[in-house]
Amino acid sequence: MIELLQHIVDGLSLGAIYALIALGYTMVYGVLKLINFAHGDVFMLGAMMGYYASAKWSGEAQNPSFWGAALVGILSMAICGVVGFIIERVAYRPLRNAPRINSLITAIGVSFLLEYGGQNLFGPTPNPFGILPRREALNLGGLSLGYVDVIVFVVSIALMLILQRIVFHTRIGTAMRAVSWNAQVASLMGINTDFIISFTFVLGSVLAAAAGLLYASKYPSVHPLMGLMPGLKAFVAAVLGGIGNVPGAMLGGLLLGLAEQLVAGYWSSSWRDAVAFAMLIIILLVKPSGILGRSDAEKV
């Protein structure tokens, strides 16, 4: 029983991180109908900037403090927000009216640029990561809850609540949902669609940075290719929940994290990475629009 609970807690903690990344895929898909393959690399950049800010630009990593971590986090999220803005502006906007395949190929190109540019800039070897103060794990009657996991839960739940609030209860969020349905009609309402698209990229990139920092805190190392697997899996999570659907991305992320952890725990950890792709195949066969995807009526 305790073992099962432990796997569930660990799975949800991983799943919350996938969910944060998946939100960026799904929101960008919502407004642009584009799979932003560079998204996983923005996640990497988030962790990498956290490493630079805490270990290179300051001595924070030697003696981590809670407020130091918050500061490092905000800095890294801000940098990634700017990078997301630039990626959309430079790489995708000029292709807005080009065939979809051109944007898709460009997305892969941007991803390579960040991965190999990253290896050049940051070096190809992994570096140790640590921005959180070290604390004992909480022991709840045999169930161990790591300090990092507590932070993962608190931060990701807070971010998802804020996002939910923005998307469903603000003027700009309403505009995002309108653009995701039909950008042309949205522009007839007076919505500046270019601005909304930029905003969406910034929002998604900030969440990806937060996910990168949490992931690197959980598995404490950073390297330029670290975004590959989590990026792919979060994409699967977004499809699982229904691409374009915000609550769906959250659900898909949590489900995927849980499934991975349960398979790794009860079966074999070498199957861990296969779970995501098995789930992708199943959902594409059973309900291609995703769990919460309502074929066409509900986007973003």
Partner 1 sequence: MSEASAPLLKIENLDVHYGAIHALRGASFSIAQGEIVSLIGANGAGKTTTLRAVSGMLKPSAGKITYRGEDLAGKKPHQLVAKGLCHAPEGRGVFPNLTVLENLHLGAFLRRDTAAIHEDLEKGFGLFPRLRERAKQLAGTLSGGEQQMLAIARALMARPTLLLLDEPSLGLAPQITEAIFQIIEDINRAGMTILLVEQNAHLALGIAHHAHVLETGSVVQSGTGRELLKSPEIRRAYLGE
> Cα separation of 176 and 296, whole Å?
16
Query: Phi and psi at residue 252, in whole multiples of 5°?
Result: -60, -40
Q: Which of 20, 191, 208, 246 binds partner 1 (CB under 8 A)?
A: 191
By CB under 8 A, which span of 16-24, 49-57, 74-82, 179-187 interacts with partner 1?
A: 179-187
Using rule CB under 8 A, residue 99 touches partner 1: no
For residue 221, give the 3-state DSSP assignment. strand
Using rule CB under 8 A, residue 171 touches partner 1: yes
Of residues 76, 100, 243, 73, the one with CA closest to residue 158: 73
By CB under 8 A, which span of 41-49, 80-88, 156-164, 185-193 interacts with partner 1?
A: 185-193
Q: Which of 67, 190, 270, 286 binds partner 1 (CB under 8 A)?
A: 190
Using rule CB under 8 A, residue 182 touches partner 1: yes
The stretches of 60-99 forming alpha helices (DSSP H) are 66-87
* Contact of 19 with 11, CB cutoff 8 Å: no
Using rule CB under 8 A, residue 189 touches partner 1: yes
Using rule CB under 8 A, residue 180 touches partner 1: yes
Using rule CB under 8 A, residue 299 touches partner 1: yes
Using rule CB under 8 A, residue 188 touches partner 1: yes
> Cα separation of 248 and 254, whole Å?
10
Q: Cβ closer to partner 1: 177 or 218?
A: 177
Q: Which of 6, 58, 164, 193 binds partner 1 (CB under 8 A)?
A: 193
* Contact of 41 with 114, CB cutoff 8 Å: yes
Q: To the nearest whole angstrom, how small is the minimum distance from the Cβ of residue 180 to partner 1?
A: 7
* Contact of 51 with 216, CB cutoff 8 Å: yes
Using rule CB under 8 A, residue 178 touches partner 1: yes
Q: Cβ closer to partner 1: 1 or 188?
A: 188
DSSP annotation of 10 reads H
> Cα separation of 215 and 140, whole Å?
23
Q: Which of 75, 148, 175, 234 binds partner 1 (CB under 8 A)?
A: 175
Q: Which of 192, 268, 269, 295 binds partner 1 (CB under 8 A)?
A: 192
Residues 6+ apart with CB under 8 A from 22: 234, 235, 237, 238, 241, 249, 250, 252, 253
Q: Cβ closer to partner 1: 98 or 121?
A: 98
At 230, the amino acid letter reads: P
Q: Which of 25, 61, 122, 177 binds partner 1 (CB under 8 A)?
A: 177
> Cα separation of 259 and 275, whole Å?
7
Q: Which residues bind partner 1 (CB under 8 A)?
A: 171, 174-175, 177-178, 180-182, 184-193, 297-300
